[in-house]
Homo-oligomer: A and B are copies of this chain.
Amino acid sequence: MARIYNFSAGPSTLPLPVLEQVQKDIVDYQGAGLSLIEASHRGPHYSEVHEAAGAAMRKLLGLPENYHVLWLQGGATMQFAMIPMNLLQGGKKADYTLTGSWAKKAVADAKKLGDIALAYDGSQENFTTLPAASDVGARDDAVYLHLTSNETIGGVQWHEWPDVAVPLVCDMSSDFLSRRLPLEKFGIIYAGAQKNLAPAGVTVVIIRDDVLEQCADDLPAYLAYKTHAPKDSLYNTPPVFPIWVARLVLDYLDENGGLDWVAGLAEERSGLLYGMMDRHAGFYSCPVAPHCRSKMNVVWRLPTEDLEKQFIAEAKAQGMDGLKGHRSVGGCRASIYNAMPVEGAKALADFMDEFARKHG
């Protein structure tokens, strides 16, 4: 098998040893005579996986006891609704940072449910920059300040965190588990799994005790955090397969060096690509301000759209796929999540070099 370098923004590349483990176990789970995806979610096989996934998550993040780890469904999109439904009923206030396509969706849902103000609005700059973290404030009576830690489409990423009196609520879908975090700042961290953690179909919600206590009591069952937290995410049938794979990925990350390891890799991969843009600065251009360039989703333009098409097609022919920028912004994008081998970023940087020399 010739494995390609898959730069897709999500779903995205997974560690090969994890895929091979799944292949080994998918028909007969560790000699149990059935697949794990056929096993009762209250039986011994899945229970072990569920507990191990939660424990591995806690260990990797260094999560204090006053945080709950929930495994939910519906993606970050569903959290855009659940967060204000749980925390803003009755027109309570929250502040949002409008930093790109994903933040925009979070704001749109929140506006239907609460009194929302923008602590930052990047629309004038076409979402190509972020403010200094120290310049971001929140209203005194806001329940939380919402951030999108990394904008998958625009390629901007917070490298520092605002220092505000209210808890941060953060969509970390596209850079979850890619670095250490000052956990005490966060009331809720949520992430669709299909970038750094697992296949699509599970959303991790990490919620602090005091924030959970403020959540609404009268919501329909699935929509209430207070349904899921006391039941350890087993109120109803959880999405067994992606949680199983998440457990394997978490173990893999832990065995290889944890968050410091992946943070180093992210530095290395993104450095190769941004470095190559600098070397061919007249040919490649990065629309994103240097202080907030993403280490997960690297975006750039070529001199013409025709050259971009040619670049993407030739890269694909050389086994590097998924480099087309999001249709809303065009250009090129390389998503270089935890499971992307550094060799993949090297191969892409080499190709960028060669392509610029030929066409620049």
Which A residues are closer than 8 A to B by beta carbons?
Answer: 1-4, 6, 8-14, 16, 19-20, 22-23, 26-28, 31-35, 37-41, 43, 46, 72-78, 80-81, 84-85, 105, 108-109, 112-113, 192, 194, 199-202, 218-223, 235-242, 245, 319, 321-322
Contacts and interface: CB of A to CB of B under 8 A. Distances in A.
A192 B222 contact: no
A239 B35 CA distance: 19
A109 B222 CA distance: 9
Contacts of A76: 236
What is the interface of chain A mostly: helix, strand, loop, or mixed? loop
7 contacts: A2-B33, A6-B33, A19-B35, A73-B73, A73-B239, A113-B220, A199-B240
Contact of A40 (B10, B16, B43, B218): B10
A359 to B, nearest CB: 26
A76 B31 CA distance: 31
A3 B76 CA distance: 38
A205 to B, nearest CB: 13
Interface centre among A10, A74, A238 (most CB of B within 10 A): A74
A129 to B, nearest CB: 26
B241 A201 contact: yes
